[in-house]
Chains A and B, each alone.
Chain A
Amino acid sequence: GQQLNQSPQSMFIQEGEDVSMNCTSSSIFNTWLWYKQEPGEGPVLLIALYKAGELTSNGRLTAQFGITRKDSFLNISASIPSDVGIYFCAGRNTDKLIFGTGTRLQVFP
């Protein structure tokens, strides 16, 4: 099925560093959602974006809905070991949510 392109595929960073990841599509979306998945669990919703240009924060996480409506960005500031997991973006333009390929984050103490 259709998927969004996420980059980078994986990141290995040191505790305290900031993290940036993005999601791009050839299609326009009206909604962007960011999820985090930990081993053995389902994706957990982190941030929801509904308007082009919208910038929303959730603690150390900040996400932006790109102006072109074809991309979205997620930043994590001052990473900590519990940030480890796979981060997925998801975009919606009709009635279906399309998921990105995921960014695997490893944080070393």
Chain B
Amino acid sequence: DAGVIQSPRHEVTEMGQEVTLRCKPISGHNSLFWYRQTMMRGLELLIYFNNNVPIDDSGMPEDRFSAKMPNASFSTLKIQPSEPRDSAVYFCASSYRTQGLREKLFFGSGTQLSVL
């Protein structure tokens, strides 16, 4: 049973370039989350979707960041233009969310982003 799949695993780019991170959630899951992990700030929630609809994007740092979920099996996180301070590990996670709180979040392996 495939878990959450992220690509690429590593991305090195130059400041000012556009970066697109991709995520395929676990089949059957209806919620998808994008997190960013840094040494200084730990794991931060950027945005999450429920049934492909963005529910809360209050964690998105700036307008340079955008996320889409065109269908239940695919999501992208885009940074345009990228800056060195965007360097971090970006995780996608998915869950099956129903009424009530018995939810388990499953993470992908992450994308290590380095902006030079």
Contacts and interface: CB of A to CB of B under 8 A. Distances in A.
Interface in B20-34: 33
A31 interface: yes
Interface stretch (B11-19, B63-71, B73-81, B99-107): B99-107
B84 interface: no
A96 interface: yes
A105 interface: no
Contact of A50 (B43, B45, B102): B102
A29 to B, nearest CB: 9
Nearest to B92: A42
A88 B105 CA distance: 13
Contact of B103 (A3, A31, A40, A101): A31
Contacts of B101: 30-31, 50, 92
Contact of B102 (A3, A31, A35): A31
A102 B42 contact: yes
Contacts of A101: 42
A1 interface: yes
B104 A45 contact: yes
Interface string A77-100: 000000000001010100111011
The 3 closest A-B pairs by CB, nearest first: A42-B107, A99-B43, A30-B101
